[in-house]
Structure 1
Amino acid sequence: MDRAPGVSVRLKLTLSYAGFLMVAGGLLLAAVWVFLLRYVPERAMLINPDDNPTNGVFPVRSALLDVFAPRAAAVLAFLLVFGLVGGWILAGRMLAPLTRITDATRMATNGSLSHRIRLPGRKDEFRELADAFDTMLARLEAHIAEQQRFAANASHELRTPLAISKTLLDVARTDPNRDTGELIDRLHAVNTRAIDLTEALLLVSRAERRSFTREHVDLSLMAEEATETLLPLAEKHGVTIETNGDITPTTGSQALLLQLTTNLLHNAIVHNLPEQGTVWVNTSVRPKTVVLTVENTGEKLTPELAATLTEPFQRGTERIHTDHAGVGLGLAIVTTITHAHDGTLTLTPRSAGGLRITVELPATAPHTGR
């Protein structure tokens, strides 16, 4: 925003300090003068009347004013100079942290997010502001780095099916006798994967922008619907799904929360034991939150590996080679949707193998409308 030049804050504070000091000094001198007027008579008899041959009476207040006024003026002049000089120095010292914050802001505006203020000293308003600004810069830097990494990974993931399609088409063009049915099937599979990836990217973008209408949602109903949808997939993998829990009312996008639940359940089914695996889906209510928990049996995971599973296009070593590896955005979408609904996501490896994923969202009163 373009603004017209104005008086600096330091000068304003200096004038304020000096003005306050002048007012305080003036009030003090006025109090002294009132005190003198109260206890000093207007006239007094001289001890030696010969000094005033008229009547021997001396005008005390008039003489006192002649003495007091120039000295009071000198005191006020000193207070003015002292207030200006001292105010300028004090204002400079007080505003020094603000100058550092302003310099850091300018550097951040120019694209340098790695700079930190790190204001020393004990806690006060300026240091709270500096610490909050440093925290904001750290989050911005991490978010931008994550977005850049996400964009690079997404470009790589999208380039793969496009490169495969180009290769298949080049082969078909150079070999007219090649079986077109096989070629069409492979192109269809590659194209489907590219479409799925594009839709997943659009879903992540939509959730990050929070461009959705909030409505009353029951997570337990989302869990039931996701279970019914994925039951054939679970049967195909020999996985048993056990669902139980309470009514869990919250607010948000019904479509996004259903996608969240479906992704969690799909992930638990696909990344399970080769046979006789189990998935547990549970919903519960806490004092201020509702909780959706999805657990599954499977290979043992380390906490370090579990912490990376929510990153886009990151998969465990044993998980990337499955037939249903997906597009690598399942848990990343879950993370984005959870954060868009002001919730928290927790991944905990089970001691017996598998993973426990907990989504905690703000609770609301049960919706009674029809």
Structure 2
Amino acid sequence: MSVRLKFALSYAGFVMLAGVLMLATVWVYLLRGLPGAASSPNGLVPIRTIVLHAYAPAVAGVLVFLLVFGLLGGWLLAGRMLAPLTRITDATSLAANGSLSHRIELEGRQDEFRELADAFDTMLARLEAHVTEQRRFAANASHELRTPLAITRALLEVALDDPARDSGEQFRRLHHVNARAIDLTEALLLLSRADQRSFTREPVDLSLNVEEAVETLLPMAEKNGVTIEASGDITPTIGSRALLLQMTVNLIHNAIVHNLPGRGIVWVTTGIHPGSVTLTVENTGEILSAQLVSTLTEPFQRGTERIRHDHAGVGLGLAIVKSIVQAHDGTLTIAPRPGGGLHVTVRLPIAPAPARGPLAH
């Protein structure tokens, strides 16, 4: 049976039960005020029998009326009450068939059905945005991967057509293109891993990650004439040490690459606050507009004239940072510095204090 029919039968049953109880109550109070018997042409007849013969048809009619009224009223009320559920079911079917743009937009007062419909609309909006982002990401990734493959094929065709050409130069160019394709593939795998949150959480000190990242990137900074100034407090958080280290490396790498050559500065600081820890990376550089900065965390977004040399990466550095931060339930804030460059702040939940054992006596 459908829910509507079950509701109608239940409603009719309750109406019938209420009617029977009411009629039984009237019958009991009616009999209390009646004499025991009454005279008739056939002698004395119990008064209850006379009243019962007169009362029974009326009772039967009332019960039949209550049954019909209960079924009909229950059916109509159930249809009215379950109408929002029908709209939600229709929207679910459309979503299951791939239509994520449909919205329920339920009107009326704020009740349980309205809350369910609003929550479903919010879920559809997020799914639609996620699917759109994934499709755009897949298209961009395909384009980025196709470029080194096309260059490799062109170099190989040139080498085949002109065997006398300098093979050493060809090999160097092929090695460079192949290395870039490998870097892009590894970046895509890291981004997927962060998005899926497939990592083990453990205590991590961001200040130690900063020391390791600075030590790793110091030769690149010196080569580009960039000074790195790191300071801060112990910043305990919970997450993947490898991913959080990659996040720190990406931020400092980005600050070194997109800086003023020969006279740039990168400031890296860590801090602890009530309920959270922060990692801040600032760098000098070109003056950037707020509109451009707001797009830098999108995959393969490098900005206008921001690529200067081979260390520029594959356009996924800040996108990976954003995914890692989100996977660790944190927030990422990127803003242009008034004098040029970027100001990046990562805020992550603070690690809970270790539980103390029982005091020894």
- TM-score interval w.r.t. the shorter chain? over 0.9
Counterpart of 1:351 in 2: which secondary structure?
coil
TM-score norm. by structure 1 comes to 0.90
Deviation at residue 83 of structure 1 after TM alignment: 0.8
Distance in structure 1 (CA, Å) of the matches to 2:321 and 2:334: 12
Q: Does 1:181 align with 2:168?
A: yes
Distance in structure 2 (CA, Å) of the matches to 1:368 and 1:58: 88
1:367–1:235 Cα change, 3 Å: farther
Q: Which residue of 2 aligns with 1:4?
A: none
Q: Is the 8 A contact 1:289 1:361 kept in 2?
A: yes
Q: Which residue of 2 aligns with 1:75?
A: 62
1:242–1:15 Cα change, 3 Å: same
Q: Which residue of 2 aligns with 1:43?
A: 36
Q: Which residue of the other structure, out of 265, 275, 278, is the alignment partner of 1:288?
A: 275
Q: Which residue of the other structure, out of 253, 263, 266, is the alignment partner of 1:279?
A: 266
**How many residues in Structure 1 have an aligned counterpart in Structure 2?**
356
Distance in structure 2 (CA, Å) of the matches to 1:225 and 1:200: 20
Q: Is the 8 A contact 2:258 2:307 kept in 1?
A: no
- Letter of the structure 2 residue corresponding to residue 169 of structure 1: L
- Letter of the structure 2 residue corresponding to residue 20 of structure 1: F
1:186–1:53 Cα change, 3 Å: closer
Q: Does 1:26 align with 2:13?
A: no
Distance in structure 2 (CA, Å) of the matches to 1:137 and 1:193: 37
RMSD: 2.1
Q: Does 1:148 align with 2:135?
A: yes
Distance in structure 2 (CA, Å) of the matches to 1:62 and 1:244: 102
1:287–1:59 Cα change, 3 Å: farther
Q: Is the 8 A contact 1:40 1:60 kept in 2?
A: no
Q: Which moved more, 1:242-251 or 1:104-113?
A: 242-251
Distance in structure 2 (CA, Å) of the matches to 1:30 and 1:291: 75
Distance in structure 2 (CA, Å) of the matches to 1:28 and 1:310: 71
Deviation at residue 187 of structure 1 after TM alignment: 0.9
Structure 1 unmatched runs, 5+:
1-6
Q: Is the 8 A contact 1:249 1:366 kept in 2?
A: no
1:209–1:66 Cα change, 3 Å: same
Q: Which residue of the other structure, out of 287, 297, 318, is the alignment partner of 1:300?
A: 287
- Letter of the structure 1 residue corresponding to residue 13 of structure 2: G
Q: Which residue of 1 aligns with 2:359?
A: none
Distance in structure 2 (CA, Å) of the matches to 1:11 and 1:170: 74
1:70–1:204 Cα change, 3 Å: same
Deviations 1:214-239 (A, max 9, x none): 11111221122111111111222222
Q: Which residue of 2 aligns with 1:103?
A: 90
Q: Which residue of the other structure, out of 133, 137, 142, is the alignment partner of 2:124?
A: 137
Deviations 1:82-125 (A, max 9, x none): 11111111111111111111111111111111111111122111
Distance in structure 2 (CA, Å) of the matches to 1:64 and 1:307: 87
Q: Which residue of 2 aligns with 1:16?
A: 10
Q: Is the 8 A contact 1:216 1:367 kept in 2?
A: no
Q: Which residue of the other structure, out of 63, 68, 77, is the alignment partner of 1:90?
A: 77
Q: Which residue of the other structure, out of 341, 346, 353, is the alignment partner of 1:359?
A: 346
Q: Which residue of 2 aligns with 1:243?
A: 230
Deviation at residue 155 of structure 1 after TM alignment: 0.9
Deviation at residue 42 of structure 1 after TM alignment: 4.3
Deviations 1:287-342 (A, max 9, x none): 22222221212222222111110000011102134442210000111111112222
Counterpart of 2:269 in 1: which secondary structure?
strand
TM-score norm. by structure 2 comes to 0.92
Deviation at residue 368 of structure 1 after TM alignment: 8.8
Counterpart of 2:312 in 1: which secondary structure?
coil
Counterpart of 2:278 in 1: which secondary structure?
strand
